Amino acid sequence: MLQLAYAVAAPAAVNSASAIYRSLNAGPPDDATLDSARTFLGQRLQAARQLHHDLPDDPQQLASWMSSRAFTVGSEYQAYLQSRREGAPRRYFSNQSHALHFLKHVAPTKLVDGAWLYGLLARWDDPDFRPLIQTYLEELGDGVPEKNHVLLYKKLLATHDCEDWQHLPDTYFEQGAIQLALAYDAERFLPEIIGYNLGYEQLPLHLLITAYELNELGIDPYYFTLHITVDNGSTGHAHKAVQALLQLLPRFGDTASVWQRIQDGYRLNDLGACTTSVIAGFDLNEELVEIMAAKAHTGANMHSDYCRLAGRGINEWLSDPQQIPEMLAELENAGWIQRGQPPENSRFWRLIQSERAEMFGVFSAYEQQVLRDWIVTPKRVPSFRARQRSLDSLGLNHTPRQGPPRGIVRHHAGDDDSSPLRRLEQQVATLGSKQAAVQLLQTLMTPAQHHRPLGLMATRMYRQLTA
């Protein structure tokens, strides 16, 4: 029978989600860090207990519950597509910068994808844990770089110059911190992990719409479409989540009490920022003002006296970030920015992008996209919230993804010839037992390490040893 360790009650004060996230994502925690994470998780569980959940009262009804949810999501997605065919606009993303803003703000969660299951690797020889361990290995791409979820997302961020996410507000770190706290405390929070996994691996409508609209905007949706297929309820992670829960629940003994804790873990999914809240929180004008205000700190004293706007020097405008909205308005009044027209018609844009751009390199690719979208957008447009309230559902014929087809990674000779990789092979080969080898490999498959070369190799070896 599985040992049942109860979740700790939270004291009045806990560390911030971002602090927990950073400390745990640096590697396996020391005792003090683990205590802080345990306290944080206890507090978040208390908050989760106040939320509604849609789980059935009887765990034996989970299979039909999952099937019903999947059918509903499919029906809603087809209604979305039909609405788009009839001319409805995108539901989620008003423009490309809106989509890139979303990618950046969900990065803290996506960059620890699957972390909540890490602590179960030690159960490799228990067949009841196999569905959960398989799920973790598949989140890691089975050690194949082109399938590793964290690597895929890092590449997506790098492609669009959206890697500056480390200083986001605390709410964007909450889900990632929860996942990491579960990762390193699996023995204590096993029921909560099972419940969290059940909720996270169900296919949501927002994933389908997100993938569709990213593709429509020319942003590779592969990271998201991969989750659509891998999370399916027939053979994928959604199915494995139910399978593992039903296999493990009787082993706890006190089924009713554990089912309550599983429900608490399920509700953890609803804390912090989520896909729809991140999308709804975007305001193009506010985003541009924030970007320009950040630039003001470095550009306040970099302009010559002849650079003047509305009778004031640019250095004076930039001396106070609170003046940025007025400065943008004056750029429009002076004709430097032509709203509602192609950006090339704006003199300010040509300072950034032209053959002799005086401000070349000042704005990142993401920041340029925000500015571009702000320029081409007429002044008076409905807000995202207003559009959201007015739409029932959406969808347009899916645009084929451009670029070469994705396939299994091509292993180059140099990949496995570097000294650290050879040493790992030799070390595993000299260990006296499979148990010792698996324990060593686990240390390289942490949320912070699995997407690095040694972690990828360790994942491949773990998969071979435990198959």
Measured CA to CA, the distance from residue 230 to residue 356 in angstroms comes to 48
202-242 pLDDT tens trace = 999 999 999 999 999 999 999 999 999 886 767 789 999 99
Measured CA to CA, the distance from residue 457 to residue 416 in angstroms comes to 8
The end-to-end CA distance of the chain, in Å, is 24
| Residue 308, strand partner residues | 313
> What was the pLDDT predicted at 462?
97
421-433 pLDDT tens trace = 999 999 999 998 9
81-100 pLDDT tens trace = 999 999 999 999 999 999 99
> Percent of the chain at pLDDT above 70?
86
DSSP single-letter state for residue 398: P
Can you give the length of the chain in residues?
Answer: 467
Measured CA to CA, the distance from residue 387 to residue 385 in angstroms comes to 5
Amino acid symbol at 112: V
Radius of gyration of the chain (CA): 25
Of 105-114, 334-343, 350-359, least confident by mean pLDDT is 350-359
pTM for the full model? 0.88
> What was the pLDDT predicted at 407?
32
How far from 294 is each of 169, 190, 282, 319, 321, CA to CA, in Å? 15, 43, 17, 11, 8
Measured CA to CA, the distance from residue 85 to residue 132 in angstroms comes to 39
> What was the pLDDT predicted at 7?
54
Measured CA to CA, the distance from residue 461 to residue 20 in angstroms comes to 30
Is 405 within 8 Å of 367 (Cβ atoms)?
A: no
> What was the pLDDT predicted at 299?
54
pLDDT (average), residues 262-286:
97
287 Cβ contact list (under 8 Å, min separation 6) = 97, 101, 370
355 Cβ contact list (under 8 Å, min separation 6) = none
Which token pair is 150?
């964290």
> For 311, left (φ over 0), alpha (ψ -120 to 50), or beta?
left
Residue the block writes with tokens 């029978």: 1
> What was the pLDDT predicted at 314?
78
pLDDT at 277 over 80: yes
How far from 157 is each of 88, 100, 111, 275, CA to CA, in Å? 29, 9, 10, 16
What pLDDT band is residue 316 in, cutting at 50, 70 and 90?
confident
> What was the pLDDT predicted at 458?
97
Q: Where are the domains of the chain?
A: 17-280, 284-382, 415-466
> Percent of the chain at pLDDT above 90?
73
DSSP strand pairing (312-313 vs 308-309): antiparallel
pLDDT (average), residues 262-279:
97
pLDDT at 138 over 50: yes
